[in-house]
Structure 1
Amino acid sequence: MQEEKPRKQSPCICLKYCLKKHINEISALTRKNILIFSRNKYITFLLLICPLFICAYLHQIQIIVDQYTASLANPHPKEISISQIPKCYGDDCITLGIGLTGGPTEWTDYVIDHIAKSSGLKKNKDIKVLTTQDPLSFIKYIKENMNTTGAGLILCSNYMDFPDNNYLKRIHCDDTKGQVYLIVYNFTEVSKDIFDPNLPNPLEISALSVKLAVDSAIASYHARKKGLKDIFFEAVIQSYPLPENRFLKGYDAVSMTGPLYFFIPPMFVFGLLISEIVKEKELKLRNGLSVIGVSATAFWVSWFIVAFFFSFMTTNSLILSGYLFQFDLFLKTNYLVLLILFLTYSLTMMILGFMISTLINSVKLSYTVSYTFLLGGLVLQNFFTSPTLMKLFHFEGLPDWMYWVKIAFSYYPPFSFSKIFSDIAAKAGSLPNYHERKWESGPGYFWDDFFTERSGWVFGNRYVVPSSFDTLMDLLWNCFILIVFTWYFDHIVEGNRGRSSPPWFIFTYEYWGIKRKNPLTEEIELRNIPASNLVKNDNTEITEGIKLDKIWKKYPRAKTCAVKPLSLIIEKEECVSIIGHNGAGKTTLLSMLTGLLSPSGGTAYVSGYDINYELGKVHQTIGYCPQFNILWDEMTGTEHLWLFAKLRNIPLEIRQELVDQKLQEVNLGKAGNKTVGTYSGGMKRRLSVAISSIGNPSVIFMDEPTTGMDPITRRQVWRLIQNMKKDRVIILTTHSMEEAEILSDRIVVMVDGEIKCSGPSLYLKNHYGEGYKVELIDNNPKTLWEHLSLIIPSLKLVDISGSSLFISIPRTEPKIAQMFFETVEELKIQDWGLKNSSLEEVFMKVTGSLRDL
C-alpha cells in the first residue's frame, strides 16, 4: 500500500522533493542531449578537432612568413662571372647584334673577332652585324625584331652626331679620337623583389659581360699594335650582403591573428546549439516536455551542461594544439589562465546563443543568424586583432563618442576576448616595437600580469589598459545580463514554454506563488504525490475529473473566437471523444487544458487544479499525446520511454520492466532498439501513445492518436486505450466516427468553437438521427416507393439506386414502423435490411454539413 501523505508538508520536505525532481529532470534531459550528439558523431568529432585545424593553419602561416623572411636575407652573395657573354639559345636568336656607324674598320673587325673568341661565339650566327648605316636604323631593327637579340653593341666606325631622342643620348662618335662604343640592352628587366616589381635589376649581367668583352678586345687591339699578346679580361660581380628584414624577423602569427582564428571554434558550437534548441521548439518537442511538467530550469541547465562540455573540450583541444605546435603564446602562459580565457568566452557565446534561441522559431532562421554572427564577427575581429587598436580605445582623454563606442563594444563578448588575448600576447608572444622598428618577444604571462594594468605611450598619447581580471569581470557581467534576458524572453515569447507570460509577469501575484483560492481544491484532498509512487498502486485515486468553467480563446487579430465559452464536467473513468471539422477548436481546447495556450477568459480544473493558477500541478497529473510526435529521430523507442519514465520519477528497479511492457502494448517490441528516424508514421504515433500513459497520469489527452495507423494496429491501440480508462479520464480528438463510437463513453461535437451536442453514441443517434434506415430490394423500386408512400405518407425517401430503395422510418412513431413491416410482408419483397442512424449522419446533421451537400 502507498504511504499516506499528510495534507500539508513541511517546507523542508517540499524543498527536498523539488530539488530531487529538478536533479532527476536535468539528468534525464542531459542524457537525451548527449545521446543526440553522440548519434551525430561526425559533427561532434569535427567540433572537437576544429581547433587542431586552426592551429595547423596558423603554424603553416608562420612557416611561410619565416621562409619568406629567410629568402630575403643573403649574407653571402654568390660571385657571378662576367668573363663571357651569356649565349642566347633558340631559333633565329642572336647573342650579340652589332651596329656600325659606317663601314667596317680594322679595329671594329678585330673587336668582333676577339669577342667571338673570348666568349666562344660564332660569327654571323651568334654575333651578327645588323646594320652599317646609323644608330637609328639599328634601333629600328631591334624594335621590328623583338626578342631575337640578347644585347646590342654600336661601334663608332665613322664620325656621327647622335640625335637627342628616347634611345640615344647626344654624344659624338669620332673614331679618330679613339674607340667609342655604345651598349644597348633591355633595362626594363624586373628584379625578384615582389614588393617593388617596377624596380629594374641593378646588375644587368649581359650588359656587363658585353662591356668587359669589348674593353678586353680594345685593350688587346692596342697591345697587338705594340707587339704584345692578346689580352683577355676576367671579372666577377657580387651583390651587397642583405641582412634579415627586421620588419618581418620575429613575426608571430598567433599573437597578431589569434583573436581572428580562435574566435571560430566557439562559433561552431554556438551555431550547433542554437539550431538544436530551435529545432526542439519548432517541432514542438519542448512543448511536449512542458506539458508533462518538465521545468524550464531543468531544460536550460541540461543544455548548459552540454554547452559547458563542448566548450571545455574545444578549449582544451585548442590549448593542447597550441602546445603541440610550440606556439610561444601558449608555452609562456599558465594553463589555467588560458583555460579561464577561452572557456569563459566560449560559455558567454553559448549563453548568447540561448538568448537568441528564445526569440526565433525556425531552424532555417537559426542557420541564418549563426552565419551572420560568424561572418560579421570575422569582419569585426579583423579590427580587434590589432594591439594598437586596443591601446587607442584606452587613451586618456578619449572623445565622448569614442568612450561610448568602447562601452558598446564591452557588451560584445569577442571584444573582451580580444582584449584579454592582446594582454597575453603583449607578454607571452611577439609584438612589433614601432619605436625601434622591430619585433620583440615577451618574457611570458604570469599570474601577477593577470591583475596588472598596462600603460605606455602611442603616437604621443598615454594609454592605460585595464587588467585582464577587470575585462574577465566584464565577460562574467555579460553572462549575467544574457542569462537575465534569456530568462525574460523565455517567459514572454510564445512558443518557448507553451503558454507565454505578459511582459510584466514579474509583478504578478502568480509569479511569486500568491494564488487565489480554488473552490474545488477546498473540497478534495490536495496530495503532493511524487510520480514515482503512482506506479506502485494502480488504485491510487488522485483525480476528480475535469471541469470547464466558461473557458474561451480568441487569437490576436482574429475576428471570431476559436473557442467560445464552454462549460462541461467530465467524471473520472470516463473517455470522452471530441469530434468536429477542421478548425472547430478541438486542438485549441486541448492546448488550453494542457497549458500550451493561455485562455482568453474563464478557466478549467484538471484533477482539481486550476489551469490558470496551478498549472505546475496540472502538468504533474496529466499525460499527453499531441498531434505532433514528441520524438527525437536520433533516439530509439526504448530510449524515449526510458527518458519519459525518468522524467516521471519511475523507480529505477521497475523502469526497464515498464519500458518493455509499454513497447509490447503498442506492438513495438522488435523495433524498440531502432532509431525513431527509421519509424513509419504509424509506429511514431504508437510510441507517442505509449509515452502518454507513462507515470500513471490521472488525465490523458490524446489529439488524433491513431492517425496514420493501419487497421490492425489501430485496433490494438484501441484496446490499449480501453484498458487505460480505469481510474483516469481520457479525452481524445478524432476524425474517425468508428473510433469515437468504440472508445467513448461520451461524444462531444464541436462546431465553430461551440459544443453543439454531448452524450453517448446511442443517445446521439436516437436524438439527432433520422430514424431507422431500411433498404428494400425489388425489380421496380420506383413503383414500390409510390405504393408505400400512398399507404404510409410519413415515410421519407432517402435514395433510389438500381434495384435498391432506401427509406427512413421516424423513430418517434412506433405504429408507423409496425404498419410498414406488415405492408412489406404482404408485398413479398425479394429482400430487405434494417439499420439505425450512423454517427456520421449525426455529425453531418449537427454540423450542418448535410445541408451543404
Structure 2
Amino acid sequence: MGNSTRQLKAMLRKNWLLKIRHPFITSAEILLPTIVMLLLIAVRTRVDLQIHPAQAYIKENMLVEVGKGISPNFQEVLKALQVGGEFLAFAPDTKETRMMINFMSIKFPLLQQVSQIYKDELELETYLTSDFYGTCSQVKNCLNPKIKGAVVFHHQGPQLFDYSLRLNHTWAFSGFPDVKTIMDVNGPYLDDLELGVNIIPTLQYSSSAFFTLQQVVDSFIIFASQQTETESSTEHIELPSSNSFNKSSSLKLPWTNLSPSKIRIAPFPTREYTDDQFQSIIKRVMGVLYLLGFLYPISRLISYSVFEKEQKIREGLYMMGLKDGTFHLSWFIAYALQFAISSGIITACTMNNLFKYSDKSVVFVYFFSFGLSAIMLCFLISTFFTRAKTAVAVGTLSFFGAFFPYYTVNDPAVPMILKVLASLLSPTAFALGSVNFADYERAHVGLRWSNIWRESSGVNFLACLLMMLFDTLIYCAIGLYLDKVLPRENGMRYPWNFLFQKCFWRKKNFIKHHGSSLESNFNDELSNERASFLRNNTHEPVVEAISLDMKQQELDKRCIQIRNLRKVYASKRGNCCAVNSLQLTLYENQILALLGHNGAGKSTTISMLVGLLPPTSGDALVFGKNITTDMDEIRNGLGVCPQNDILFPELTVREHLEIFAALKGVKEDILERVVTDMVNEVGLADKVNTMVRALSGGMKRKLSLGIALIGNSKVVILDEPTSGMDPYSMRLTWQLIKRIKKGRIILLTTHSMDEADELGDRIAIMANGSLKCCGSSLFLKHQYGVGYTLTLVKSSPTASVASDIVYRHVPSATCWN
C-alpha cells in the first residue's frame, strides 16, 4: 500500500471518528434534508386532488371540418395570397409539378397567379435566406416575391408520393408551429405534460390552412394514383389553354370528384387523470424548500474546513508529512458519503408521493449531484476565511444567496443560454431542476432517463444535471487555486501565476525556483538594509569550537546543516528580513536550545526547516537531503511538536498516535506495537483510552511530544514544549526530553534560560533574525557571564562570620552592604 493511500485512510478514519463522537450533530446533518421532504409530504396530503374521467375524442365543439369554419377553403387561401401580394412556392421544377399546377388551376384559376416554381428545395431555401427576399412583392411578375407557404416534393410517383408542406410562421398566430404540441411519436399518453384534451394543435393547423393545402395536394395524388391503376397516361389528357379559364367553376373533370368531400379533425381521447394542484402550486418555491434542508450540513462543512485552518491543525498535519491533496480529498469523500446516505433516504421517503412517477435513480442522482457540487462550493467559500464563526455566518448566507438568480431565469421566455450561465451557481441549477420534477410529476409521467433531455417550462433537466457536475469540477479547480494564492497566516503562499511556471509541474524545483525569484526581486531593496546591518553588527557570531565527533557527523551527513538561510517578507512598509543568513549546525544525540525574543526569527526558521515556508535564499541539509528539493523525504523522518497542540478533543490518546503514525508511514502490521511503545515512553499508559478533552495541560504536551517522536522520527523539533505547564509537569517533560534524545537530532525553542540551561547540550541565541552566539551552557557563561550573586541576611550589623567564609573560598568576591 502506497504512502498516499495510508495517509488517506488515516484521514478518513479521523473524519469518521469526529463524526461518530458527535452523533446528534451527524444525525441532524443527514436527516434534516429528509425532514424538509417529509414536511412537504405532509402538506401534500392536505391538498385536494381533482379526478377527471376519460374524455372521448367525439365531443361537441371538438370537431373541425377542413375548409369550413375556422379552416379556410383553398379558394379563400388563394384570394388572401393575391390580396397580400404573396405566393405559394412549389419545388422541384419538374414536368409533374407543372402538370399538377395546371390541373389544380382548372378548379382554382387564381393558383396560376400566386404560384412560384423553384428548381429544387435548396434554391428555395437559398432565396428565403437571401437579402433579396420580398424586395418587390407588390410589383407584377416580381422575381423576388414573399413566400407564404411551399409544397416540396421528394418523390412524385407513380407508386410513391412523398412531399413536405412548409409554412411561413406569419401565417398563423404567434407560437406556431410548436412541434412539441403536435403529436407524440412515441404513442398516446407518453411524455405528454398536457393533462386533458388539448385542442390548441387542432386549431393551429386548421386556422393556418395547413389542412386545406394538404387536402388539395392529397386530392391530386389520389387522382394521379387512379390514373396509374387504369393504365391511363397523363400525356393522353388534353389540357385546356390558359385562355379558356373564363368560367373555371363550371368545369367538371373526373379528378375533382375524387377529392374527399368532408375531412374532420378531432383531438386524441384522454384517459382518466388526477389533477395534482400541489405540484403546480409549489413549483416556484420547491427549489428553495429543498435547499433549506441542506443549509445545516453546509454550515457544518464550512465550519470543519475553516476550524482546522484557524487552529493551525491543517498546517500541523502538513508538517507531519500529510500531502495537501489528501487533506481535501478526505473531507470530500467523507461528505460525499454523507450526502449519498441523505440522498438515498430522501429517495426512499419520496418514492411513493413527491416523486411517485419518476425513476428512483434519477431522483437519487439529482440530489447526490447537488451534494457533490455543494461540497466543492463550501470548499471554495472556505478559502476566503480564517475564522470559523465568520465563515459559517457569511458562508452559509453566500451559499443561500447563490439560489436567488433562479427567480430571474425561471421564466420560460428567458433564453436557455442565460439559464446555463445562472446554473454556474449550483443552487440555481438545483432549483431549476425542481421545476422539471414538478411538471412531470403533475403530468403523471415522471422524469426518467429517456426523457430528461426534454424541456418543460423552458427548463432542460439534463442541462441542470450536467451543470451541477460541471460546477463540482470548476469549484474544485478554483478552490484549489485560491487556497494556494490567497494570503494566509501560516504556510507557503504561491504567486498568482504559479500554474504557468514550468518549474511548478516539476514539483521538486518549484520551491527552490520560487525562493530564487523572491531573492532576485529583493536583492536591490535589501542592499541598503544589509549594509546598515553590517555597520550595526560588525561582530561575527560567537560559536564554540566543535569536537571531533561532531566533525565526523558533518562528514557522514548525520546532522542538520543550515547554510545562509534567509527569509524576506514584503509588506506595505517595505521589506522585512525575518531570518538573515543563518549559519547553524545541529548534531545527533544532542539537544540544541534556540533562544530569542519574540520576532527574533525562531518560528520562521522552524517553518522553513519543516517546509511550510520557502527560503528566500540559502538552504539546509537534513541528513544530506535539501529542504528545497527533498522535503517529502525529510518529512518521513520529521517530528514536530508545535507550540499549539495539534490535537482533537474528541479522539483518544491511542487514536491520535495511530493516526499520526499512519501519516508518517508506519506499516499496519507493526502499528499496534509502535503505539504501545510510544505510550509507555511518554508516560501515558494509564491514559491510553482517555479522550484528549479529559487530559491535563502537561499530559497534552506529552501526547504532542509522543506524536512528534512516533514513526522513528530522527529529527524532532519542539517549539516551546513546556509553555503553560506548571513546574511539576515541566520537570517531568524535561526528564522525558532528555531520555529520548539518543539517536535523534532535537531542536528546542524556548524563552526560558533555565530550560535552555537544563536541556540544551548546545544553546543558540538569535536576535533580529541573526545568530548571535552558539555553544554549550558553560561556554556561554564563560563568554558572557558576570558571575554569581549571593545574598545573605545578617542577624546583626557587626556579624562577619559569613563574609569570612565567602572570602576564604572566593578571594575575589565583592561585598555590598
1:661 positional shift: 2.5
1:687 positional shift: 0.8
Which amino acid letter does the alignment assign opposite residue 417 of structure 1?
Answer: F
Q: 281, 285, 295: which is aligned to 1:257? A: 285
Distance in 2 between residues matched to 1:751 and 1:782, nearest whole Å: 47
Larger deviation, residues 351-360 vs 24-33: 351-360
* 1:469-480 equivalence runs, <5 A: 469-480=462-473
Which amino acid letter does the alignment assign opposite residue 49 of structure 1?
Answer: L
Task: Note if 1:506 corresponds to 2:499.
Answer: yes
- Contact kept in structure 1, 2:420 and 2:463, CA below 8 Å: no
TM-score of the pair, normalised by structure 2? 0.62
Distance in 2 between residues matched to 1:419 and 1:592, nearest whole Å: 49
Which amino acid letter does the alignment assign opposite residue 362 of structure 1?
Answer: R
Task: Note if 1:361 corresponds to 2:354.
Answer: no
* 1:50-65 equivalence runs, <5 A: 50-65=32-47
Distance in 1 between residues matched to 2:21 and 2:487, nearest whole Å: 30
Deviations 1:375-421 (A, max 9, x none): 4256555667xxxx3422237xxxxxxx5x53531211122222322
* 1:324-403 equivalence runs, <5 A: 326-327=352-353, 329-373=354-398, 375-377=400-402, 379-380=404-405, 389-394=410-415
Which amino acid letter does the alignment assign opposite residue 317 of structure 2?
Answer: L
Distance in 1 between residues matched to 2:358 and 2:804, nearest whole Å: 94
Q: 295, 308, 314: which is aligned to 1:280? A: 308
Task: Note if 1:30 corresponds to 2:46.
Answer: no
1:780 positional shift: 6.8
Q: 411, 436, 442: which is aligned to 2:444? A: 442
* Corresponding residue number in structure 1 for 2:348: 320
* Corresponding residue number in structure 2 for 1:553: 567
1:783 positional shift: 10
Distance in 1 between residues matched to 2:747 and 2:3, nearest whole Å: 27
- Contact kept in structure 2, 1:549 and 1:567, CA below 8 Å: yes
1:304 positional shift: 1.0
1:543 positional shift: 6.3
Distance in 1 between residues matched to 2:444 and 2:510, nearest whole Å: 70
Q: 1:761 to 1:807 in 2, by over 3 A?
A: farther
- Contact kept in structure 1, 2:579 and 2:601, CA below 8 Å: yes
Task: Note if 1:490 corresponds to 2:483.
Answer: yes
1:683 positional shift: 1.9
Which amino acid letter does the alignment assign opposite residue 445 of structure 1?
Answer: L
* Corresponding residue number in structure 1 for 2:750: 734
* 1:104-115 equivalence runs, <5 A: none
* 1:95-134 equivalence runs, <5 A: none
1:63 positional shift: 3.6
* Corresponding residue number in structure 2 for 1:745: 761
Q: 1:291 to 1:781 in 2, by over 3 A?
A: farther
1:547 positional shift: 1.6
* Corresponding residue number in structure 2 for 1:194: none
* Corresponding residue number in structure 2 for 1:724: 740
* Corresponding residue number in structure 1 for 2:430: 417
Deviations 1:66-105 (A, max 9, x none): 39x99xxxxxxxxxxxxxxxxxxxxxxxxxxxxxxxxxxx
Distance in 2 between residues matched to 1:517 and 1:416, nearest whole Å: 39
* Corresponding residue number in structure 2 for 1:767: 783
* 1:149-168 equivalence runs, <5 A: none
Corresponding residue SS for 1:391: coil
* Corresponding residue number in structure 2 for 1:453: 454
* 1:177-216 equivalence runs, <5 A: none
- Contact kept in structure 1, 2:34 and 2:342, CA below 8 Å: no
- Contact kept in structure 2, 1:776 and 1:805, CA below 8 Å: no
Which amino acid letter does the alignment assign opposite residue 689 of structure 2?
Answer: N
- Contact kept in structure 2, 1:551 and 1:566, CA below 8 Å: yes
- Contact kept in structure 1, 2:403 and 2:425, CA below 8 Å: no
Which amino acid letter does the alignment assign opposite residue 290 of structure 2?
Answer: F
Distance in 2 between residues matched to 1:276 and 1:331, nearest whole Å: 36
1:61 positional shift: 2.5
- Contact kept in structure 1, 2:404 and 2:428, CA below 8 Å: no
- Contact kept in structure 2, 1:774 and 1:806, CA below 8 Å: no
1:631 positional shift: 0.6
Q: 1:763 to 1:311 in 2, by over 3 A?
A: same
Distance in 2 between residues matched to 1:766 and 1:49, nearest whole Å: 70
Q: 311, 327, 337: which is aligned to 2:339? A: 311
Deviations 1:214-249 (A, max 9, x none): xxxxxxxxxxxxxxxxxxxxxxxxxxxxxxxx9995
Equivalent pairs, count: 552
1:493 positional shift: 2.9
Which amino acid letter does the alignment assign opposite residue 496 of structure 2?
Answer: P
Corresponding residue SS for 1:708: coil
Please list every run of 5 or more consecutive structure 2 residues that lacks an aligned counterpart in the other structure: 52-273, 513-552
* 1:510-529 equivalence runs, <5 A: 510-513=503-506, 515=508
Q: 611, 622, 636: which is aligned to 1:606? A: 622
Which amino acid letter does the alignment assign opposite residue 396 of structure 2?
Answer: Y
Distance in 1 between residues matched to 2:584 and 2:278, nearest whole Å: 82
Corresponding residue SS for 1:25: helix
1:700 positional shift: 0.7
**RMSD between aligned residues:** 3.5
Task: Note if 1:294 corresponds to 2:322.
Answer: yes
Corresponding residue SS for 1:750: strand
* Corresponding residue number in structure 1 for 2:23: 41
Which amino acid letter does the alignment assign opposite residue 453 of structure 1?
Answer: R
Task: Note if 1:704 corresponds to 2:723.
Answer: no
* 1:666-677 equivalence runs, <5 A: 666-677=682-693
1:478 positional shift: 1.6
Distance in 1 between residues matched to 2:427 and 2:774, nearest whole Å: 62
* Corresponding residue number in structure 1 for 2:547: none
* Corresponding residue number in structure 1 for 2:607: 591
Task: Note if 1:690 corresponds to 2:706.
Answer: yes
- Contact kept in structure 2, 1:781 and 1:805, CA below 8 Å: no
TM-score of the pair, normalised by structure 1? 0.60
Corresponding residue SS for 1:561: strand
* Corresponding residue number in structure 1 for 2:193: none
Distance in 2 between residues matched to 1:542 and 1:289, nearest whole Å: 30
1:760 positional shift: 0.2
Deviations 1:118-140 (A, max 9, x none): xxxxxxxxxxxxxxxxxxxxxxx
Task: Note if 1:713 corresponds to 2:715.
Answer: no
1:23 positional shift: 0.8
* 1:229-240 equivalence runs, <5 A: none
1:355 positional shift: 1.7
1:269 positional shift: 2.0
Distance in 2 between residues matched to 1:782 and 1:474, nearest whole Å: 97
Please list every run of 5 or more consecutive structure 1 residues that lacks an aligned counterpart in the other structure: 1-18, 71-245, 396-402, 431-440, 457-462, 520-538, 785-802, 810-815, 833-853
Distance in 1 between residues matched to 2:802 and 2:563, nearest whole Å: 50
Which amino acid letter does the alignment assign opposite residue 275 of structure 1?
Answer: S
Distance in 1 between residues matched to 2:592 and 2:325, nearest whole Å: 34
Q: 1:45 to 1:549 in 2, by over 3 A?
A: same
- Contact kept in structure 2, 1:593 and 1:604, CA below 8 Å: yes
Distance in 1 between residues matched to 2:806 and 2:578, nearest whole Å: 36
Which structure has the greater CA radius of gyration? 1
1:482 positional shift: 1.2
Task: Note if 1:634 corresponds to 2:650.
Answer: yes
* 1:222-233 equivalence runs, <5 A: none
* Corresponding residue number in structure 2 for 1:529: none
Which amino acid letter does the alignment assign opposite residue 410 of structure 1?
Answer: S
Deviations 1:760-780 (A, max 9, x none): 001111111113545566567
Q: 1:707 to 1:249 in 2, by over 3 A?
A: closer
- Contact kept in structure 1, 2:280 and 2:438, CA below 8 Å: no
Which protein has greater RCO, CA pairs closer than 8 Å, 6+ apart?
Answer: 2
Deviations 1:440-485 (A, max 9, x none): x3323322102x33278xxxxxx6x54x333322222222211111
Corresponding residue SS for 2:721: coil
